[in-house]
Structure 1
Amino acid sequence: MESTITIENVVASTALATEFDLVKIMDSGLEGAEYNKTKFPGLVYRIDNPKAAFLIFTSGKVVCTGAKTINNAHKAITNLANKLKDIGCDKINLEPEIHVQNIVASADLKTTLNLNTIAIAFGLENVEYEPEVFPGLIYRVEAPKVVVLVFSSGKLVITGGKCEEDCNGGLRIVRKEFDNLGLLC
């Protein structure tokens, strides 16, 4: 049976303004916002629809994390831009250029794997496996440029993709390599 990916997290960034006064944003009553510059230089703000969290910086830059799709990351950033405009922030870019920085996805090969066998078969190139340090095998795929964490349970975590196809491509490569080694039933 063919495995499919499940997107767990999309991290995207943008610039909504040239600068933000984070204290002013806090004072405006942005509900649920947290700002303590002695602990972290940005304001943290969470929303539920779509579910996402933002790191808002004085530079006007924003990082959105926690969205489950690229589309939801875009919606969340648009909602944030409108919310900031509504509470009185000036010169908000309501149509910002949004850059996906990272996608984290998971997959399940539905079989157990012997990571020692995989590490030996793949050799040292593109693979790290030190079970006393980390329980998974780290496989660096060159194209698409993603990292696949492989666990003996057959579960995978694919990270580093900039689009869903990068993650799917990483999964296809791992499945093909493991199938060629006779590791998949």
Structure 2
Amino acid sequence: MEHIRPGWPVPQLQNVVATVNLDCPLNLQTISQHARNVEYSKKKFHALIMRIRDPKTTTLVFATGKMVITGAKSERLARLAGRKHARMIQKVGFDTKFKDFKVQNFVASCSVGFYVRLEGLNAANPTFSSYEPELFPGLVYKIASTRTTLLVFMNGKVVITGVKELDKLYESFARVYPMLLDFRIRKSA
């Protein structure tokens, strides 16, 4: 967060998507019959869906032993959820391990506290942004160096996604926030 200056809004994490390898093949049908809070329909989707309340997350479990954890509000909570799901599968009778935990995507959002003139922001940054209000109400701003996408809405809401490192999330926001100030819609008296 060293990139965020005092007085600036701070993006808050909304979702962390992480992966982990249980390092053993799984019989999803067996797990679905013996574990709780599980959905499995082989015809609909080739993964098992597990949910827990604390931390409130949803995990996709694949027969290969790979898992995708979504919904956590921090990296620590995503890791905890993955461990809880791995333990549930272990209790069913599989020799699970917990290998290669990795955050695949951080999603954060914040409100800058003012309206933004998206047409002007897009016109000033045609290389990095696209704005087609007929298709999507937000401006899409891509930062290639951090592989980050920011969705900027006219009401001042900003969603930051595509980041694998938390520091890059704040760095990306700090790069765009001064531009948002330049295209701030000032209220007339």
Aligned-residue identity in percent: 32
1:8 is aligned, of 4, 10, 14, to: 14
In the alignment, which residue of structure 2 is the partner of 1:114? Answer: 117
In the alignment, which residue of structure 1 is the partner of 2:150? Answer: 148
Query: Which letter maps to 1:183?
Result: R
TM value normalised by structure 2: 0.90
2:169 pairs with 1:167: yes
Query: Which letter maps to 1:160?
Result: G
In the alignment, which residue of structure 2 is the partner of 1:60? Answer: 65
1:73 is aligned, of 78, 83, 94, to: 78
Kept in 1: contact 2:146–2:172 (CA 8 A): yes
Query: Structure 1 residues 39, 182: CA separation in 2 closer, same or farther (over 3 Å shift)?
Result: closer
The DSSP-based 3-state class of the residue aligned with 2:70 is strand
1:24 is aligned, of 30, 34, 54, to: 30
| 1:184 shift after superposition | 7.9
Query: Which letter maps to 2:107?
Result: V
- Segment of structure 1 superposing worse, 151-160 or 73-82: 73-82
CA distance in structure 2 between the partners assigned to 1:139 and 1:160 by the alignment: 12
CA distance in structure 1 between the partners assigned to 2:145 and 2:178 by the alignment: 14
Kept in 1: contact 2:150–2:158 (CA 8 A): yes
TM value normalised by structure 1: 0.92
In the alignment, which residue of structure 2 is the partner of 1:183? Answer: 184
1:90-125 superposed Cα distances (whole Å, 9 cap, x missing partner): x200x3220111111101110001101111111x20
Query: Which letter maps to 1:129?
Result: Y
Unaligned runs of 5+ in 1: none
CA distance in structure 2 between the partners assigned to 1:55 and 1:178 by the alignment: 37
CA distance in structure 1 between the partners assigned to 2:138 and 2:51 by the alignment: 31
Kept in 1: contact 2:37–2:51 (CA 8 A): yes
RMSD (Å), alpha carbons:
1.4
